């Protein structure tokens, strides 16, 4: 009898229908390039998933620190979709990017993600699936200025993770 381990996972409409990406190359725009070439810093304009795919060949398993600030899915970006589909669409956008970032991250690297309450819990489960739950270290909370929101809605969200 096969040992089929079952694990907790988040499921949504379209999960598993990830885009099939062909290898990509980055083309430098000499007019926008400046500074010391030895730093190997890059500013990439374009679709971030395609840019990540282009980085895969040279940087797979080499990046020690990744910081991303994905859309918070507050409703404004997906205002024409119902609530159930809205979260699925957001998850279908973020999951392939998280998986691609995992390929780029070194074994001793870390990823830092700024997100608010709209999707943080779903994103945590996606990250657990991609990186392994035992690799989660902590939520880092930072205080934000929300005086306007407090006045507008009568309550305050004072922190973001």
Residue 86 placed within a domain? yes
Instruction: Quote the distance between the C-alpha of residue 81 and its chain's center.
Output: 21
* Domain coverage including residue 128: 43-160
Number of domains in the chain: 1
pLDDT at residue 76, as a whole number = 63
Q: Are 44 and 51 in contact (CB under 8 A)?
A: yes
Write the CATH number for 98: 3.40.50.150
pLDDT at residue 81, as a whole number = 47
Residue 144 placed within a domain? yes
Residue 6 placed within a domain? no
Model confidence over 51-90: pLDDT tens digits? 999 999 999 999 999 999 887 776 665 555 444 457 888 8
Measured over the CA atoms of residue 152, residue 153, residue 156 and residue 161, the dihedral's sign is negative
Measured over the CA atoms of residue 108, residue 109, residue 115 and residue 119, the dihedral's sign is negative
Cα radius of gyration rounded to whole Å, the chain:
19
Phi, psi of 65 (to 5 degrees): -145, 125
Residue 156 has pLDDT above 80, yes or no: no
Residue 8 placed within a domain? no
Model confidence over 29-40: pLDDT tens digits? 888 877 787 777
3 φψ region: left (φ > 0), alpha (ψ -120 to 50), beta (else): beta
Model confidence over 113-153: pLDDT tens digits? 998 888 899 999 999 999 999 999 999 887 766 565 556 66
Residue 145 placed within a domain? yes
């Amino acid at each position: 009898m096969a040992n089929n381990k079952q694990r907790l996972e988040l499921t949504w409409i379209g999960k598993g229908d990830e885009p099939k990406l062909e290898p990509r190359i980055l083309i430098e725009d000499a007019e926008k390039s400046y500074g010391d070439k030895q730093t190997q810093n890059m500013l990439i304009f374009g679709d971030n998933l395609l840019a990540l795919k282009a980085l895969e060949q040279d940087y797979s398993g080499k990046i020690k620190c990744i910081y991303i600030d994905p859309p918070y899915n507050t409703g404004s970006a997906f205002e024409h979709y119902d609530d159930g589909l809205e979260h699925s669409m957001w998850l279908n956008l973020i999951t392939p990017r998280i998986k691609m970032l995992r390929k780029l991250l070194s074994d001793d690297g870390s990823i830092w993600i700024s997100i608010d309450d709209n999707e943080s819990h779903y994103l945590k489960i996606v990250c657990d699936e991609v990186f392994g739950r035992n690799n989660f270290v902590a939520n880092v909370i930072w205080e934000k200025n929300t005086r306007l929101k407090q006045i507008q809605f009568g309550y305050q969200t004072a922190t973001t993770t």
